[in-house]
Amino acid sequence: MLILYTLIGIVIYICFVLIFAKLNFKENLKKYMLLVLSVIYNVFIGYIDTYVILLLYGYFANMPKGSGYEVPESEAGFNAILGLVTLTIYLLLLIPINIYMKKKGKINKKTYIIANIIATILGIIIFWVFLDKNKRLF
């Protein structure tokens, strides 16, 4: 259920960004608002990075229910397919919206990349700080 709510939230966010980018604002205001929206998005992506990496490891190592449980070898191909689908969805959520926000906001490439790398690292740090509360995700 958590994954469903996460995907719904991301779809709503992407729709909001697409609508906001099409509106006619002053270029300076639009540039900063899209940079702020991009940083918020990348903090969230950084937060779920660790979860996605652990999920992908579980699928590709044929242990989707955790390290103590290994499914039969006959299901290994299915788990690999689930891992590839998860990786594809994750990359589709990560890359295109960032490219779109950078182009629509006409933001300096160096500033945009540095701000979003810092935001992603901050999201990863937030995940590990609240690890006790995140254990129910695993």
pLDDT-derived band at 107 (thresholds 50, 70, 90) equals confident
Give backbone dihedrals phi and psi of 51, rounded to 5 degrees, phi first: -65, -45
The residues, ordered by sequence, that sit 6+ positions from 78 with a Cβ below 8 Å of its Cβ are: none
Tally of structural domains, the chain: 1
Amino acid letter, 84: L
Query: What's the residue count for the chain?
Result: 138
51: domain range? 2-137
Please give the residue that has the higher pLDDT: either 14 or 69.
14
Three-state DSSP string of 42-93: HHHHHHHHHHHHHHHHHHHCCCCCCCCCCCCHHHHHHHHHHHHHHHHHHHHH
Instruction: Name the 3-class secondary structure at 138.
Output: coil
**Claim: this prediction has a pTM higher than 0.75:** no
Please give the residue that has the higher pLDDT: either 138 or 10.
10
The first and second tokens of residue 49, run together, are 């990075």
* pLDDT 10s digits, 19-36: 777 777 777 887 888 888
